[in-house]
Amino acid sequence: MLMLVELILLDRFRHGSARALWVLPSLFLLWVNTHSSFFLGLAILGLYWVGGLTGFRQGGLESIPWSPGQRRQLEVIALLCVLALVATPYRTRLAASPLDLIWHSPLAMAKGGEFQPLSAFGALMKWFLFLLLVFLLEQIAFSPRYTVEEMGLLLVSIYGACVHARLLFLFVLVFAPLLAKLMGRWIPPYEPAKDRPVLNVALVILLGVGVVRVFPSGAELEKDVSAAFPQRAVEYLRQHPVDGPMFHEYAWGSYLMLTMGSQHKVFIDGRSQLYEEAGVYPEYFRIEQVASDAPFLLRKYGIRSCLIGPKTPLATFLAALPEWKRIYQDDLAILYVRI
């Protein structure tokens, strides 16, 4: 949402609204304290600055130069945006956190589902390629013109989405207006005389009713939770507590924190960067995959029980050890304790 606001403000500035740009420092102040994607916002700001440094037109690509006043204003705003990044409870540490994740948390980047390439998500990849194909065919048919910043943003967003599926949101924000501009060739201009306010209101109400009808009920949400998380195993643990540290599936950490609270300290949860910095994250995977030092690591952390999937390599491994006993099992989870 914040990136969308930034793109709108930069577009208004490009079309002559000098006041629009003064909102950006406040936007980045909110952004750095809200979400780590602010560094992409800085890259977009830099791309717009570069796109207006010189003027040229080559085929369907053009660069519209900034006036001296526009360039100075853009540079001053960019400086204020950078200064806004240190106005956090953590000073410069928060501003540096995205780069710290990229450079110092390779395992989190490699294992995190949202950081996987788009090719790992078959259905999304098909729609992505379909949209790009339609866009390419329209370039051949109509030869539209683009500014340097529009084409630069498009290429960066395509690359980003292909490398990390998480950046697909950037592609959507950049691609949607370009596609809309191309589709506008077949849509007649707006004619106020043809407006039908009553019909519009009826359609909005109908859409609202549809949203309410398809919104999942509490029972449906509870069913989804029980299918993904060890709900029944947690109920068993409440009635039959086990002593000592517990090893568990990575994806279940936050659920265990939510449902068991202070009764149980989790081994790991979704904050992979923190656990990787502490050295726990790589050792979690060595235990999970039953590496040669897995028994040593279990003893290192004093693990007294393991709540894991019944078909995992670790479950098979523990079943063969006489010092581990299975005390609970269902379709989703199995609980072993050291005897």
pLDDT band (50, 70, 90) for residue 27: very high
Whats the size of the chain, residue-wise? 339
334-338 and 61-63 beta bridge pairing:
unpaired
User: Cβ atoms within 10 A of the Cβ of 162, count?
Assistant: 16
**49, 75 Cβ separation under 8 angstroms:** yes
The pLDDT of 38-59, averaged and rounded, is 91
Given this model, what pLDDT does residue 85 score? Answer: 92
Residue 261 or residue 306, greater confidence: 306
Higher-confidence residue: 94 or 336? 336
Tell me the per-residue pLDDT of 272-307, one tens digit each, with 9 for 90 and over: 888 998 899 999 999 999 999 999 999 999 999 999
Tokens of 46: 């830099």
Q: Residue 315: CB partners within 8 Å, gap ≥ 6?
A: 306, 308, 309, 334, 336
The answer to whether the CB of 250 falls within 8 A of the CB of 287 is no
pLDDT number for residue 183: 83
Q: In which band, very low, low, confident or very high, does the pLDDT at 59 lie, cut at 50, 70 and 90?
A: confident
Q: pTM (2 decimals)?
A: 0.76
| Tokens representing residue 171 in the block | 């592609």
Mean pLDDT is lowest, of 19-23, 92-96, 308-312, for 92-96
Q: Mapping DSSP to helix (H, G, I), strand (E, B) and coil, where does residue 96 land? A: helix
Of all residues in the chain, the percent with pLDDT exceeding 70 is 100
Average confidence (pLDDT) over 11-21: 91
pLDDT, tens only, 135-151? 888 888 888 888 999 99
The span from the CA of 3 to the CA of 187, in Å, is 28
Quote the strand ranges of 68-201, DSSP E: 146-147
pLDDT tens profile 196-239: 999 999 999 999 999 999 999 989 999 999 999 999 999 999 99
